[in-house]
Amino acid sequence: MVTSDDSRLDRAVGRVLNVGVTASSACLAIGLGLSMLGGTAGAARLLLNVGLVVLMATPVGRVIISVSEYAFERDWVFVSLTTIVLLELVGSLLAAFR
């Protein structure tokens, strides 16, 4: 049985994923188009980089939304588990920059 809290979480996560993938796809498509048409190399490269960063940040946004929604629902087991996942994502990001 789906409660209103479950559908609220699903809607919030769905919104984050939809916006992230759409924005990333738009940046990547425009950047690729500019690079193929011989447009400004700087603008094409910037759009391609932004598209990749947005695509990689989308799952992090999903986890952040999940932590906040689980905290709102007072589901402390899932808050703990999702926070561990978030810390692992942040740790891997910090390790990548070293």
Mean pLDDT by 10 residues, the chain (98 residues): 68 94 96 87 92 93 94 93 94 88
Domain that holds residue 82: 4-97
As for how many domains the chain has, the answer is 1
Residue 1 has what pLDDT? 46
The Cα-based distances of 72 to 14, 39, 66, 67 in angstroms read 17, 47, 10, 9
**21 in Cβ contact with 55 (< 8 Å):** yes
